[in-house]
């Protein structure tokens, strides 16, 4: 069953995953603060990724580079010139939209195929053709696409809008230097490449990874945490030799790896994932091959991750702009070259959202009196569930039960995120824990005081069994 995004937004707020940012001032549009369970999910995804790619491998190192960088970095990477989206305004209601998205959504909503489009305008490929302002204007005019907010047909011409947030560095207002909040984390890796080569024992092929914030002044943010202006990215730049066989193999390996991680780490349902290679004309100018990992969200199929073969574009640009030698010397062959790189770039904020959407379920069951009930249950990978154990004394006024529950909580919380729940109503406790993904509830009752056993309840099956308190393991 598919649940609407509104369902997920309400659940996230009700159950402490994400809350509207600056709420007491009436919210800053599309900003979301992560709340305790959201923070835990984020931390768990990050830690699992770190363990998988850094702790268990020898060829990837970890970095935490600065958000604010020398403005020349953004000139070298080209973000100052090309990192923009086509913007269009409705003259009537003043709505500001992305022209390419307006067209894409129109095609999807009306289920238009190439043949139908070709009846009005000559197009070779739906996915890529509406790139230039002329093409976008022609499409909007030919199909008389109306403003989705006020239904009028009165557009400005499309124009380019740079998505980088600009600020000033310096102590004197208006006299500082223009500087950008980074729109992606990758350049922090490229500018550290030389120092890493000089100071670590990294040898090609090797990768540099980082997870941190990026900022984009999106024209049409929305869909909860899908498109926001401040978000987390998890990027890896994997450097290889310039050899077609090598980079092709490496690219395929990252595709395989990515699929495996989405399914086994985040527990995304395989049938909702799609790996879509870009057509030649759709590729960014710096990429020779890109594959988008897409997910079937309640409102459409959208990107979760991009895997791009970026060639040696970025390092070459930094060579040009910094005048530094960023070549690699192969210690065995003595060959010197500028390495090429494969970039698997995944949004962490989107991963949290996708995990939530994929896990959310509403299920009917019979209670102890055979009455039909509905429970919200999030079937989520236990490794990223925010709380691993809820410890519940059955009778909150029973001092012995409460003390034993506290002892178990103190012990388990050394290693796991646990919750102590002494609100007294066991069924309500179970419901609450099901909703926040807690895999196991531990209940302490009268028998626990007699023989030291406790009841364990499994979230998914709702089955219960007794074990010795000191045998509890995750
Ligand atoms: P989109 O086509 O959705 O705008 P993109 O192709 O611009 O994404 P990339 O530049 O490849 O995205 O960034 C890598 C990843 O960062 C994306 O796959 C996505 O998961 C995440 N990401 C990008 N922009 C945003 C955003 N505004 N909000 C949340 N996550 C984002």
162, 179, 204: which is the final residue of a domain? 162
Task: Give the 3-state secondary structure percentages of the chain, helix then strand then coil, rounded to 5.
Answer: 35, 30, 35
Helix (H, G, I), strand (E, B) or coil at 95: coil
Same domain, 178 and 300: yes
Q: What is the pLDDT of residue 334?
A: 93
- CATH number of the domain to which 295 belongs: 3.30.930.10
**Whether residue 238 is found in the same domain as residue 289:** yes
347 CA to centre of ligand 1 in angstroms: 6
In the numeric block, the tokens 């978000």 are attached to 231
Where does a domain end: 110, 130, 162? 162
CA 175 and chain centroid, separation: 37
- Shared domain check, 126 and 51: no
CB neighbour burial string for 117-141, b if at least 16 within 10 angstroms, e if fewer: beeeeeeeeeeebbeeeebbbbbbe
Q: What are phi and psi of 287, to 5 degrees?
A: -115, 140
Q: Please indicate, yes or no, if residue 24 is contained in any of the structural domains.
A: yes
Burial label for 182, CB within 10 Å (0-12, 13-18, 19+), is buried
CA atoms within 13 A on the CB side of 57: 17
| Ligand 1 centroid – CA 363 distance (Å) | 33
Residues lower than pLDDT 70 in the chain:
124-131, 173-176
β strands within 55-128, DSSP E: 60-62, 84-89, 96-98
Considering the domain architecture, whether residues 132 and 145 belong to the same structural domain is answered as: yes
> Residue 421 has which token pair?
């729940």
Q: Whose CA is nearest to atom 25 of ligand 1?
A: 227
pLDDT, residue 191, reads 97
Q: Which tokens hold the place of 367?
A: 């209670």
Residue 151: inside a domain, yes or no?
Answer: yes
Strand partners, 294: 274, 303
Write out the H or E segment, with its range, that includes residue 178: strand 177-180
Residue 467 maps to a domain: yes
Which ligand 1 atom is the nearest neighbour of the CA of 227? 28
**Predicted pLDDT of residue 175:** 67
The response to whether residue 216 sits with its C-beta less than 6 Å from ligand 1 reads: yes
Query: Could you tell me the distance, in angstroms and rounded to a whole number, from the CA of residue 228 to the centre of ligand 1?
Result: 9
Is residue 448 located within the same domain as residue 306?
no
- Find all residues with CB under 8 Å of 115, minimum gap 6, and list them: none
Measured between alpha carbons, how far apart are the two ends of the chain, in Å?
29
168 and 312 share a domain? yes
User: Which domain CATH number covers 119?
Assistant: 3.30.40.230
Which pLDDT belongs to residue 119?
84
Atom 19 (ligand 1): residue with closest C-alpha? 347
Is residue 256 located within the same domain as residue 347? yes
Is residue 434 one of the residues assigned to a domain?
A: yes
Ligand 1 center–CA 438 separation, angstroms: 30
Cα separation of 227 and 431, whole Å? 31
In the numeric block, which tokens belong to residue 265?
């780490």
* CA nearest to 405, candidates 433, 437, 445: 445
Residue 367 lies in a domain: no
Asked whether 231 lines ligand 1 (CB < 6 A), one says: yes
User: From the alpha carbon of 308, which atom of ligand 1 is closest?
Assistant: 11
CATH number of the domain that residue 420 is part of: 3.40.50.800
Residue 369 in domain: no
Q: Give the pLDDT confidence score for residue 373 in this predicted structure.
A: 87
Q: Which domain holds residue 411?
A: 387-471
> How far does the centroid of ligand 1 lie from the alpha carbon of residue 10, in Å?
24
Instruction: Provide the domain count of the chain.
Output: 3
Strands (E), 241-329: 273-277, 289-297, 300-311, 328-329
**For ligand 1, atom 20, which residue shows the shortest CA distance?**
347
CA of 374 to the centre of ligand 1 (A): 36
Query: From the CB of 233, is ligand 1 less than 6 Å away?
Result: yes
Considering the domain architecture, whether residues 148 and 118 belong to the same structural domain is answered as yes
Query: Looking at the domain assignment, is residue 196 inside a domain?
Result: yes
Q: Which of 111, 131, 162 is the last residue of a domain?
A: 162
Please give the pLDDT value at position 174: 67
Q: Are 27 and 123 part of one and the same domain?
A: no
Please tell me whether residues 175 and 294 are part of one structural domain: yes
CB contact set of 395 (below 8 Å; sequence gap of 6+): 401, 424, 445
Contacts of 193 (CB under 8 A, 6+ apart): 208, 239, 315, 318, 326
Q: pTM for this one?
A: 0.90
Residue 371 DSSP class: -
Q: 49 in ligand 1 pocket by Cβ < 6 Å?
A: no
Q: pLDDT tens across 31-67, in order?
A: 999 999 999 999 999 999 999 999 999 999 999 999 9
CA of 449 to the centre of ligand 1 (A): 54
C-alpha to C-alpha distance for 207 and 200, rounded to whole angstroms: 12
Residues 127, 18: one domain?
Answer: no
Q: Is residue 185 part of a domain?
A: yes
CA distances from residue 210 to 190, 233, 304, 379, 436 in whole angstroms, order as listed: 12, 8, 17, 28, 28
The predicted structure's pLDDT at residue 249? 96
- Distance from Cα 17 to the centre of ligand 1, integer Å: 21
Task: Find out whether the beta carbon of 218 lies less than 6 Å from any atom of ligand 1.
Answer: yes
Using N-to-C axis directions, what is the helix angle for 5-14 and 348-359, rounded to 10°?
100
The residue whose CA is least distant from atom 10 of ligand 1 is 184
* Cβ of 228 less than 6 Å from ligand 1: yes
**pLDDT tens track for 325-356:** 999 999 999 999 999 999 999 999 999 999 99
Q: Is the dihedral of CA 323, 326, 330, 333 positive or negative?
A: negative
Based on the fold, state whether residues 146 and 260 are members of the same structural domain: no
Read off the tokens for 310: 């970026």
């Amino acid at each position: 069953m598919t649940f609407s995004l509104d369902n997920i937004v309400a659940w996230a707020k009700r159950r402490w995953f994400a809350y509207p940012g600056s709420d007491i001032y009436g919210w800053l549009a599309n900003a979301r603060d992560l709340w305790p369970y959201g923070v835990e999910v984020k931390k768990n995804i990050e830690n699992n990724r770190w363990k998988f790619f850094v702790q268990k491998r020898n060829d990837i190192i970890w970095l935490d580079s600065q958000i604010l960088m020398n403005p020349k970095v953004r000139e070298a990477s080209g973000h100052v010139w090309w990192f923009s989206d086509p913007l269009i305004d409705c003259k009537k209601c003043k709505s500001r939209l992305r022209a390419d998205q307006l067209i894409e959504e129109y095609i999807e909503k009306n289920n238009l195929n190439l043949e139908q489009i070709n009846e009005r305008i000559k197009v070779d490929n739906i996915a890529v053709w509406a790139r230039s302002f002329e093409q976008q204007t022609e499409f909007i005019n030919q199909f008389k696409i109306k403003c989705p907010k006020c239904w009028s047909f009165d557009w400005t011409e499309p124009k380019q809008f740079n998505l980088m947030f600009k600020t000033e560095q310096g102590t004197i207002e208006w006299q500082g230097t223009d500087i950008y909040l980074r729109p992606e984390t990758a350049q922090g890796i490229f500018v550290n490449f030389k120092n890493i080569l000089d100071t670590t024992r990294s040898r090609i092929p090797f990768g540099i990874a980082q997870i941190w914030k990026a900022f984009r002044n999106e024209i049409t943010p929305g869909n909860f945490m899908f498109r926001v202006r401040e978000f987390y990215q998890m990027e890896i730049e994997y450097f290889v030799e310039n050899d077609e066989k090598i980079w092709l193999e490496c690219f395929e390996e990252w595709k395989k790896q990515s699929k495996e991680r989405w399914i086994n780490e985040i527990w995304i349902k395989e049938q909702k994932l799609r790996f879509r290679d870009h057509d030649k004309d759709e590729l960014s100018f710096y990429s020779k091959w890109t594959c988008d990992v897409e997910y079937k969200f309640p409102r459409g199929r959208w990107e979760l991750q991009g895997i791009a073969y970026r060639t040696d574009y970025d390092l070459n640009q930094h060579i040009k702009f910094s005048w530094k030698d960023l070549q690699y010397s192969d210690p065995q062959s003595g060959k010197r070259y500028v390495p090429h790189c494969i970039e698997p770039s995944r949004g962490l904020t989107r991963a949290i959202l996708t995990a939530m959407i994929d896990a959310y379920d509403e299920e009917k069951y019979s209670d102890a009196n055979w009455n039909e009930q509905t429970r919200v249950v999030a079937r989520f990978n236990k490794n990223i569930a925010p709380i691993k154990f809820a410890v519940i004394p059955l009778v909150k006024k029973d001092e012995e039960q409460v003390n034993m529950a506290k002892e178990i909580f103190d012990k388990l919380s050394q290693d796991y995120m646990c919750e102590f729940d002494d609100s007294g109503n066991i069924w309500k406790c179970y419901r609450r824990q099901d909703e926040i993904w807690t895999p196991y509830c531990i209940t302490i009752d009268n028998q626990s005081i007699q023989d030291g056993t406790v009841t364990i309840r499994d979230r998914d099956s709702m089955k219960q069994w007794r074990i010795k308190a000191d045998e509890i393991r995750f």
